[in-house]
């Protein structure tokens, strides 16, 4: 077993590196798909609802959740929030483009012609192509975000948050009333 591992050590190393490269590539593709098709926002909405429901059982957690929601509402109400969404989208586009350009650069350098062999060059071409695809999906996501993240959309989200905060404050008043009734002899 040790002899086999020693003989195939370069192959194992290349396989591990390729595994990491493909994991990063497909992880980015899946993350961009989640954002592009709104799956991520649905997941975040369900997590927010679950947090609101679990916070509704305790005065402390409910007041902390109300403070968190108010801070989130305040961050959205400014143009700063919309600017941060635009910057995040730009990074989603720029990062894969840079990695693909690095792959193309490495493929065309003398470094990988000899020891890497032609098979490694094909892998670099494939990696560059995959990162170009991720960047293109990021562009599509940016177009979707730019078309719906307007002041009206932000105002609708702020209204939804205000409604949630009002419901949590009502729940907090009910919990306070129950606590007062239970403490009286």
Domain that holds residue 125: 58-183
In a domain, 105, yes or no: yes
Residue 134 Cα distances to 57, 108, 119, 139, angstroms: 43, 22, 23, 9
In a domain, 41, yes or no: no
In a domain, 31, yes or no: no
Residue 166 Cα distances to 80, 117, 123, 156, 159, angstroms: 25, 65, 55, 15, 10
In a domain, 43, yes or no: no
Quote the CA–CA distance of 179 and 121 in Å, as a whole number.
Answer: 70
Domain count, the chain: 1
In a domain, 85, yes or no: yes
Give the residue among 175, 181, 164 at the shortest CA–CA distance from 68: 164
Contact 81, 75 (CB under 8 A): yes
Contact 69, 168 (CB under 8 A): yes
Q: What string of pLDDT tens digits covers the 185 residues of the chain?
A: 566 656 666 676 777 777 778 777 777 777 777 777 777 677 777 887 777 777 666 777 788 888 888 887 776 677 776 677 677 778 878 888 888 888 777 777 655 555 556 667 777 788 888 888 888 887 877 776 665 566 777 788 788 888 988 988 888 888 878 777 776 65
Quote the CA–CA distance of 164 and 154 in Å, as a whole number.
Answer: 15
In a domain, 140, yes or no: yes
- Could you tell me which residues come within 8 angstroms of residue 28 by beta carbon, excluding any fewer than 6 positions away? 96, 131, 134
How long a stretch of residues is the chain? 185
> What's the pTM?
0.45
- Could you tell me which residues come within 8 angstroms of residue 179 by beta carbon, excluding any fewer than 6 positions away? 59
Going through the chain in order, the beta strands assigned E by DSSP cover none
């Amino acid at each position: 077993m040790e002899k086999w591992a020693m003989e195939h050590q370069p192959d194992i190393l290349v396989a591990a590196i390729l595994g990491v490269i493909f994991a990063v590539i497909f992880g980015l593709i899946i993350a961009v798909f989640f954002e592009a098709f709104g799956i991520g926002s649905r997941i975040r909405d369900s997590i927010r609802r679950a947090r609101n429901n679990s916070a509704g059982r305790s005065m402390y957690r409910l007041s902390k959740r109300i403070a968190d929601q108010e801070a989130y509402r305040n961050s959205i109400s400014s143009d700063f929030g919309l600017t941060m969404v635009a910057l995040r989208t730009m990074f989603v586009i720029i990062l894969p483009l840079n990695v693909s350009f690095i792959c193309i650069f490495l493929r065309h350098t003398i470094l990988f012609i000899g020891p890497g062999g032609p098979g490694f060059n094909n892998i670099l071409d494939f990696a560059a192509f995959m990162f170009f695809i991720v960047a293109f999906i990021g562009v599509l996501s940016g177009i979707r975000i730019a078309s719906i993240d307007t002041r009206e959309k932000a105002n609708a989200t702020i209204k939804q948050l205000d409604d949630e905060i009002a419901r949590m404050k009502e729940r907090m008043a009910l919990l306070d009333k129950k606590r007062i009734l239970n403490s009286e002899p």
